[in-house]
C-alpha cells in the first residue's frame, strides 16, 4: 500500500490503490504486466504453475522476486525459475545497468534489511542491522532479446522497506532506497 502511493506520487504511472494476489493458474495473470513475489525461496510450484510462469514471462510479463535468503532458498527459487525458463540463465545485474538506474541513479549496492533484522535504531544514524546471509546480490534473467524479464533481490528484503515506511524504527534511508529501486524496476518493465 505504501509503495503504490509512492509510485503514484513520484511518477506518472497510474496504479491500483492496493496489491492484488493472483494465482499462476488464473487467466487474469496475463492482465498484470508486473509481478512482485516475496519469499520465492519457499516455492513449491507444480509443473502447471511453472509452465504458466514461463509463459507469462515470455509473453512480456515482468517479475521481481524479493526476500530470498541463503543457499537453500536460493536453490529452491533458481530450480523453479530454470524449470519455467529452461533456455535462460540467472546472472548478476551490472552496477550501471539501466534496470537499476532508469529513473533514480543508484550507484551504491546497499543490502536492504528485513524489519526483523534491525536490532537497534536510535532514530539517527546509529542503526544496527544483522542480516543472516551474505553477500547481497542483484540478479536477473533476460529474454532472448536481452531484456530483463526477472529481477531478483537476493539476501535482501525490499518489501519490508515498503511495508514499514511508516515505522519510525525502520531506517528512512532504507525505505527511500527501496522505493527508488522498486520504481526503477517498474519503469524498466513498463518501457522494455
Please write the tens of the pLDDT for every residue from 168-178. 888 888 888 99
pLDDT > 90 in the chain, percent: 61
**How big is the CA angle at 90 (ends 86 and 95), to the nearest 5 degrees?**
155
| Domains of the chain in sequence order | 2-11+32-191 (3.40.50.12140)
Question: Which residues lie closer than 8 Å to 190 by C-beta, 6 or more apart?
Answer: 13, 33, 34
Please check whether residue 2 is in contact with residue 178, taking contact to mean a CB–CB distance below 8 angstroms. Answer: no
Tens of pLDDT along 89-119?
999 999 889 999 999 998 778 888 889 888 8
Q: Would you state the torsion angle of the CA atoms of residues 180, 92, 79, 40, taken in this order, to the nearest 10 degrees?
A: -20
Q: Of 169 and 59, which is predicted with more confidence?
A: 59
Q: What is the pTM of this model?
A: 0.90
137 by Cβ neighbours in 10 Å (0-12 / 13-18 / 19+) ranks as: middle
Q: What is the pLDDT of residue 116?
A: 85
Structure confidence at residue 84 as a pLDDT band (50, 70, 90): very high
Mean pLDDT of the chain: 90
Q: What is the pLDDT of residue 124?
A: 63
Q: Is the peptide bond before 100 cis (omega within 30 degrees of 0)?
A: no
- Residue 192 to residues 8, 23, 147, Cα–Cα distance (Å): 20, 24, 7
Q: Mean pLDDT lowest for which of 33-37, 65-69, 109-113, 140-144?
A: 109-113
Structure confidence at residue 74 as a pLDDT band (50, 70, 90): very high
Q: What is the pLDDT of residue 125?
A: 65
Pairing status of strand 137-142 against strand 90-92: antiparallel
- Residue 116 to residues 66, 113, 119, 136, 157, Cα–Cα distance (Å): 15, 8, 8, 17, 10
Amino acid at each position: 500500500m505504501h509503495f503504490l502511493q509512492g509510485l503514484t506520487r513520484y511518477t506518472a504511472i497510474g496504479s491500483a490503490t492496493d496489491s492484488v494476489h493472483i494465482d499462476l493458474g488464473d487467466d487474469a495473470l496475463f492482465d498484470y504486466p508486473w509481478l512482485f513475489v516475496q519469499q520465492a525461496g519457499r516455492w513449491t510450484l507444480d509443473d502447471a504453475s511453472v509452465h504458466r510462469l514461463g509463459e507469462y514471462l515470455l509473453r512480456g510479463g515482468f517479475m521481481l522476486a524479493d526476500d530470498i535468503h541463503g543457499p537453500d532458498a536460493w536453490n529452491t527459487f533458481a530450480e523453479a525459475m530454470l524449470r519455467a525458463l529452461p533456455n535462460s540463465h540467472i546472472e548478476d545485474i551490472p552496477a550501471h545497468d539501466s534496470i537499476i538506474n532508469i529513473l533514480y541513479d543508484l550507484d551504491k549496492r546497499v543490502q536492504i534489511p528485513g524489519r526483523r533484522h534491525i536490532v537497534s535504531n536510535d532514530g539517527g544514524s546509529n542503526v544496527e542491522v544483522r542480516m543472516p546471509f551474505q553477500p547481497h546480490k542483484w540478479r536477473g534473467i533476460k529474454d532472448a532479446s536481452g531484456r530483463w524479464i526477472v529481477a531478483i533481490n537476493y539476501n535482501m528484503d525490499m518489501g519490508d522497506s515498503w511495508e514499514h515506511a511508516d515505522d519510525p524504527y525502520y531506517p528512512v534511508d532504507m525505505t527511500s532506497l527501496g522505493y527508488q529501486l522498486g520504481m526503477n524496476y517498474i519503469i524498466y518493465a513498463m518501457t522494455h
